[in-house]
Amino acid sequence: MLTTNINYILSIIIVLFFIGVLGLVLNRKNILITIMSLELMLLSVNLNFIVFSIYLDDVIGQIFVLFILTIAATESAIGLALLTAYYKLKNTIQLDKIKSFKG
């Protein structure tokens, strides 16, 4: 019974991770969607750690989740602050224009 539930949950986690990968691969223009795709991938990895931590009755996976959530929140805050400052200067956040920015 528990194996069936964990297989179902792991399949959902795999689908979430590949949605994030597709968001990174297919979208090359909007940096906000790129950041959201990275966050989706990080959250799917967190769900994976939580599921196996509960399944194996171990706390280490939940400690890793706290570290990953801290890093993800920091990455989002710094990334959005940089995007806001860049948007105020250039009035665009398209990736191709950011890549060609030199100085």
**pLDDT for 53-62, tens place per residue?**
989 988 998 9
Find, among 29, 20, 27, 28, the residue nearest to 72 by Cα: 20
What's the mean pLDDT when you consider all of the chain?
Answer: 85
Using alpha carbons only, give the angle 62, 67, 69 rounded to the nearest 5 degrees: 90
Percent with pLDDT over 70 in the chain: 87
Rounded Cα distance between 38 and 99, Å, is 19
- Residue 44: domain span: 2-99
Q: Looking at the 3D structure of the chain, how many domains does it have?
A: 1
Q: Give tens-digit pLDDT for 23-57.
A: 999 987 788 888 889 889 999 999 999 999 989 98
67: domain CATH number is 1.10.287.3510
| % pLDDT > 90, the chain | 39
Sign (positive or negative) of CA dihedral 92, 32, 38, 22: negative
By C-alpha distance, which of 38, 47, 44, 28 is closest to 80? 38
